[in-house]
Amino acid sequence: MTIWIVLAFASALLYCLSQLVDKFVIDKVFEDAETWLLGSSIIGGILIIGLIGYNGAPLITDYSHIFLAVLSGALLVPCYLFYAKALKESTSDIISALWQTCPIYALILGYFVLGDAIGALNFIGIAIVMGTTLFLCLPEKTGIKAFFKTLKKAKGPFVLMQMACILLISSEGIADHLLETYTILDVMIYGMVGFCVSGMLFFFSPAKRRSLIKSFKENPREMLTGLIAVELLELVATYACYMAYTMGSFSFVTCLLATQPLIILLLLWLFHNTKPGLFRTVQMSELRHKFPVLIGTMLGVSLIVF
């Protein structure tokens, strides 16, 4: 098996595990998304020291490039803020499916910035991805009318995740530009500096400081374990993802990463049968209901990127 395929699947699996842990700590440990981001920024700051000790100081010396690298990380703070708010309102498998709308915005960015063409199959893929993700967001009991009312008020997970995806693609676009010249760890270190500095701005809010201290006093083990686990999972996943894109086909790697919602659903079902109570309950009926929709999302992504 080609190594980049292994790296792409490993990256997808690690991202899935990080989203499951995110859901756990956001629901069970932290009072709100801002406090979670503040805690993540503090742990991320400690991780930066470890990365510099391992990699050495970043070799980016051009101040404009340093600014861009820091900006790419700073953009992730509002991105993850929207993500955390959406995750509080929905389930991890649906939020993972909503991340799959990112290729739509990458396609649009490529059209306006790079002059890439958008064909008929791309439009079909966009329609499929938007349709399947909208379907997954439909309220189970209140019906379509209530869903569109929520959508209109821009409070639902679908709208929150579109904002998160736009910010993520903007951040990745800046990082990709820098990766043409610098190593991934150099760009990543400055990106983490931007993320941590921006995230720690919540520290100036007395309410968020009190909330963080309260969360630590009530659940110190869960809080520290969850935050450290997510930071490490995302660090390794991002590196594996970058190596997969470097060594393999962009389109195939993107399609392999689009398996994340399916992987999360399978992991939830597995945990339900082996460690009940750790995460939410997933019955076989839910698997039968969501699997065809998520496969449709993967098909849509493949039409967008090929």
Q: Distance between CA 154 and CA 150 in Å, rounded?
A: 6
The answer to whether 188 and 76 are in contact (CB under 8 A) is no
- What pLDDT score does 150 carry? 58
Tell me the H-state helices in the chain. Answer: 3-28, 33-55, 63-74, 76-89, 92-99, 102-109, 120-136, 143-152, 157-179, 184-199, 206-218, 220-247, 250-257, 260-274, 284-305
Angstrom CA distances, 226 to 67, 221, 261, stand at: 30, 8, 21
- What pLDDT score does 137 carry? 83
- What pLDDT score does 154 carry? 46
Token pair of 200, please? 């720690």
- What pLDDT score does 147 carry? 61
Q: In the chain, what are the domain boundaries?
A: 91-136+258-306
* Average pLDDT, 10 consecutive residues per value, the chain (306 residues): 90 96 94 95 94 90 96 98 94 94 94 88 96 82 60 72 97 95 94 97 94 94 95 96 93 94 92 78 79 93 92
